[in-house]
Amino acid sequence: MGRVAEAETEGVAVCLANVNGELSALDNVCPHRGGPLGQGWLEGDVVVCPWHSWSLHAKTGLAEYPEHERVEVFPLRVEGEDVLIDIE
């Protein structure tokens, strides 16, 4: 089981995805129509946009369809209870 949530770091909106305890940080803006990915849901290891159900892989940011679409995935690390996201 997993979940997604919205966060912001240094003015950048981020979608945090927790897939079975493993975190990923993706750009929060869906490439289709700009939907907020962090308000969507997970289906396995895929983040589903709440606006039009575009599906993007939580680890790679690649869309299931169309295949050439993607969002940026940011490196992150967990220190204690803090999630540190490198958006550069």
Asked if 14 and 85 count as a contact pair (C-beta separation under 8 A), the reply is yes
With a CB cutoff of 8 Å and minimum separation 6, the contacts of 16 are 4, 5, 6, 7, 23, 24, 25, 38, 83
Q: How would residue 1 be classed by pLDDT, with cut points 50, 70 and 90?
A: low
Q: How would residue 64 be classed by pLDDT, with cut points 50, 70 and 90?
A: confident
Q: Quick one: pLDDT at residue 67?
A: 82
Average of per-residue pLDDT across 31-44: 95
Q: How would residue 88 be classed by pLDDT, with cut points 50, 70 and 90?
A: confident
Q: How would residue 7 be classed by pLDDT, with cut points 50, 70 and 90?
A: very high
